[in-house]
Homo-oligomer: A and B are copies of this chain.
């Protein structure tokens, strides 16, 4: 079976930059390609867009198929269209980035055919296609966006301590933050909810567990509230 068009068309693909947080390290999930081109080399999970799905849906499907991830934060990043970005033929790729609660997920990794592995951002292996550019673009976006939208919570467990939250920002932004000032600021925003529970299984004073209150955040945004770290 083949498909005919009056004018030539680029192939349309999606690629996903998947971020996870692991004990103070920001990580990216990469897969080892099991098909040419670049067979055996590291790349972002991704694939071609089907006719019956939007690019968002294609990105979620590829995520599921190639990494086993589902129901994660996913947002369109940028569309890459350089003529030579794929050696086979003209491929335009709509890139996405995803944020994953790595703590919950860890065990399920490497589900599928291709090898899917978490790498520290600072230790990513050489990537094929224009994927280094895509990763860099995604990291820049993440750093910028985490400051003015409460997306960082997507990298933490649903319930978290203030120290975990602070460490997440320090890791993503790659800079230290003052503990007291951070707590004052984040608590005064009124978007965190005490769960009433405490941390357990730690060899020191247990910390209170909080949860991001999305509803409250949205009603506050409507009233002009501006999130900022």
Give the interface of A toward B (CB within 8 A). Answer: 1-12, 48-49, 51-56, 76, 78-79, 81-83, 90, 92, 94
Contact = CB atoms under 8 A, between A and B. Distances in A.
Q: Which of A1, A4, A81, A83 has the most CB of B within 10 A?
A: A81
Nearest to A82: B54
A16 to B, nearest CB: 14
A138 to B, nearest CB: 15
The 4 A-B pairs with the shortest beta carbon distances in the complex, nearest first, are A55-B81, A3-B8, A9-B9, A54-B81
Nearest to A58: B81
29 contacts: A1-B6, A2-B5, A3-B4, A3-B5, A3-B6, A3-B7, A3-B8, A3-B9, A4-B5, A5-B9, A5-B11, A8-B51, A9-B9, A9-B10, A10-B12, A10-B49, A12-B92, A49-B92, A51-B90, A53-B83, A54-B81, A54-B82, A54-B83, A55-B81, A56-B81, A76-B79, A79-B94, A81-B94, A92-B94
A55 B78 CA distance: 11
Contacts of A79: 55, 76, 79, 94
The number of times this chain is found in the oligomer is: 2
Contacts of A92: 12, 49, 55, 94
Contacts of A1: 6
A31 B78 CA distance: 26
Contacts of A90: 51
A49 B76 CA distance: 20
Contacts of A53: 83
Contact of A49 (B48, B52, B81): B81
A77 B9 CA distance: 21
A2 B9 contact: no
Nearest to A55: B81
